[in-house]
Structure 1
Amino acid sequence: MPRMNSDGKPFIIINHRAARAREAWVAVRAELERQHIRFDAHEAREPGDAQARARAAVRAGYRVIAVVGGDGTLSEVAAGFFALDERREPSALPLPINNEAALAVLPGGTGNDFARALQNGRASLAYWTGRLIAYLRSEEAATRAVDMLYGTLKADARSFICLNAATLGIGAEVAGRVAAQAGFLQRLPGETRFAVATLSALARWRNRRVRISVDDETFECETNLVAVVNSAYAGGGMMFSPEAEVDDGLLDVVTACDLNRVQVLRELTRIHSGGHLANPRVSVRRGRRVRIEN
């Protein structure tokens, strides 16, 4: 039986704000049409649009929601699979709208780290498009259940879902700078864009004392780098925790304690290979629940 809604179509969400996603969509659409795959599509043009459209599509009965975009758009659409818009206690885990709905990855972003983690390496857009078509035709039987990161911000009672990683300190600063890049920087490879953003973020480096709880363990340290990761890759190929798995039921919590600016720069040059973990001041803890206070 085809894995689509009652009208026989998947719903595809494209991050229209990203040039790479728009280019990727041209290729994806052409292949879908060549293969005579019917579909509905929406180009998300503002923050929150992709999540709202995904949620509406799941509630409308679509069984496959595909994403043409990067890790940010992918997480935004994944959040749309859950009833985050319904009133509930902030600490309660969100409920899925339809357990039978599936999320399809069509990488078209800067880093595409979650897709890389799923494959244990990079794969082309054509490969992912082919897998989507095979699944829609019931030629590929299996879906894969993966973990997600659900977080709440106590200060303003906001909640969020992401598939890849949540960072505090310099990690969040770098992510914000990458998102704000424009002009020729947007045309650079993802790892280069993240490197440029990292160098500028270092100028604002300042350690903060934080208290971190991972399940039943609590510790404190002076840091400006905390990463809660769900996969081996994040931030344009950075391997915060090389052993992280997307489906092991655990979050990897990476902290770099008591490092100065020079030491941070040194570790950032090694983070794409996981070499930063050789530094005894960098640690990884694993657990199901994480609490961070500053």
Structure 2
Amino acid sequence: MKELLFIVNPIAGKGAALNSVPLIESFCKQRHFKYEIVKTQYKGHATALAKDVSSSSYDAVVAVGGDGTVMEVANGLVGSSIPMGILPTGTGNDLSKSLNIPSKIDQALSIIAYGKPKYIDAISYGNGYFFNVASVGFDAEIARDIQKIKRWIPGKAAYYVSVFLKFITYKHKDVVVEIDDTKISTKILLFAVANGTYYGGGMLVNPKGSIDDGYIDAILITPVPRFKFPFLFWKFVSGKYLDLPYVRTYKCKEVKVFSKENLPVNGDGDIITTTPVQFSVSSRAILVLC
């Protein structure tokens, strides 16, 4: 008999995660699964809860929420033999897209019940791990500022409004990046460190990426002329931008980013640290049901 722990972020997806609880209960009862549902109470609580059960008899620990909730639960399970399940009930749900986990709750529950676990990589950044995409520059500043905008504008509309405002005000950043043994001094529009393929609520940032190949995909985008940016934005959204002259890509094991100012670093949708920062890939770091 399966035994499952569901860690629910009650504010994820404007209550969508909380609203999924009756569906979870019904699903488990119909299949005679043992289950427990715990609601998070503060930032970092999901990590603490997952760490507490990392040596228990649970068959899976399920993150019920968005990318932030998934990242917290995954940080608690790194190195554990207990797989993580995902019920994508947040706003962006980018890691679940990278893992081909469906957005419909009943279908995602079926994967938790009957799916097979696979190992995926994690990328360390000093204080923890992220599992999808981290970045410095244009989009990291959007991630920093979007929380204010969400007070007035809900859902994905807040992201696109943030993009527009940042397009008007953004100043390109001077950075030094070390990609394995290659050192580059440059101005950037943004610099992404990718494990998965999607971010920003479905933007295909890393179309050639693999979440379990043991490598980091580093994507360096130098300044794009402001007048061209609106016409090229669709390329960034659809993953068709890799052939642009402003873009360079690298496959590597380690990345360091330095700058004179402490730039925000966006990881899996949250600001996780500031520069300087070092990223290293941890191969086969966590089991995920997908």
TM-score, scaled relative to structure 1: 0.80
Aligned length: 257
State, as a whole percentage, how many aligned pairs show the same letter: 23
Pair 1:81 & 2:77 matched:
yes
Bigger mean CA deviation after superposition, 49-58 or 176-185: 176-185
Pair 1:217 & 2:182 matched:
yes
Pair 1:130 & 2:98 matched:
no
What is the DSSP-based 3-state SS (H/G/I as helix, E as strand, rest coil) of the residue aligned with 1:110?
coil
* CA positional deviation for 1:180: 4.4
Residue aligning to 1:92: none
* CA positional deviation for 1:203: 3.4
- Write out per-residue CA displacement over residues 28-70 of structure 1, whole angstroms, 9 at most, x where no aligned residue: 2332233332211211131111111111121444341101111
Structure 1 residues 59-70: aligned runs within 5 Å: 59-70=55-66
Structure 1 residues 1-294: aligned runs within 5 Å: 2=1, 9-18=3-12, 19-82=15-78, 96=79, 98=80, 100-119=81-100, 122-134=102-114, 140=115, 142-152=116-126, 159-182=127-150, 185-186=153-154, 188=155, 190=156, 192-294=157-259
- Provide closer, same or farther for how the CA distance between residues 207 and 101 of structure 1 changes in structure 2, counting only shifts above 3 A: same
- Provide closer, same or farther for how the CA distance between residues 28 and 193 of structure 1 changes in structure 2, counting only shifts above 3 A: farther
Runs (5+) with no aligned partner, structure 2: 260-290
What is the DSSP-based 3-state SS (H/G/I as helix, E as strand, rest coil) of the residue aligned with 1:33?
helix
1:258 alignment partner AA: P
Q: Tell me if structure 1 keeps the 8 A contact 2:150–2:158.
A: no
Q: Tell me if structure 2 keeps the 8 A contact 1:13–1:66.
A: yes
Q: Tell me if structure 2 keeps the 8 A contact 1:13–1:68.
A: yes
Distance 2:172 2:152 in 1: 32
TM-score, scaled relative to structure 2: 0.81
- Write out per-residue CA displacement over residues 112-160 of structure 1, whole angstroms, 9 at most, x where no aligned residue: 11111112x85522111012122xxxxx5x31110111112xxxxxx12
What is the DSSP-based 3-state SS (H/G/I as helix, E as strand, rest coil) of the residue aligned with 1:231?
coil
1:101 alignment partner AA: I
Distance 1:237 1:264 in 2: 19
CA RMSD, 1 decimal: 2.1
Runs (5+) with no aligned partner, structure 1: 83-95, 135-139, 153-158
Distance 2:29 2:161 in 1: 38
- Provide closer, same or farther for how the CA distance between residues 15 and 179 of structure 1 changes in structure 2, counting only shifts above 3 A: farther
What is the DSSP-based 3-state SS (H/G/I as helix, E as strand, rest coil) of the residue aligned with 1:211?
strand
What is the DSSP-based 3-state SS (H/G/I as helix, E as strand, rest coil) of the residue aligned with 1:271?
helix
What is the DSSP-based 3-state SS (H/G/I as helix, E as strand, rest coil) of the residue aligned with 1:129?
helix
Distance 1:37 1:106 in 2: 17
**Which structure shows the bigger proportion of residues in strand conformation?**
2
What is the DSSP-based 3-state SS (H/G/I as helix, E as strand, rest coil) of the residue aligned with 1:32?
helix
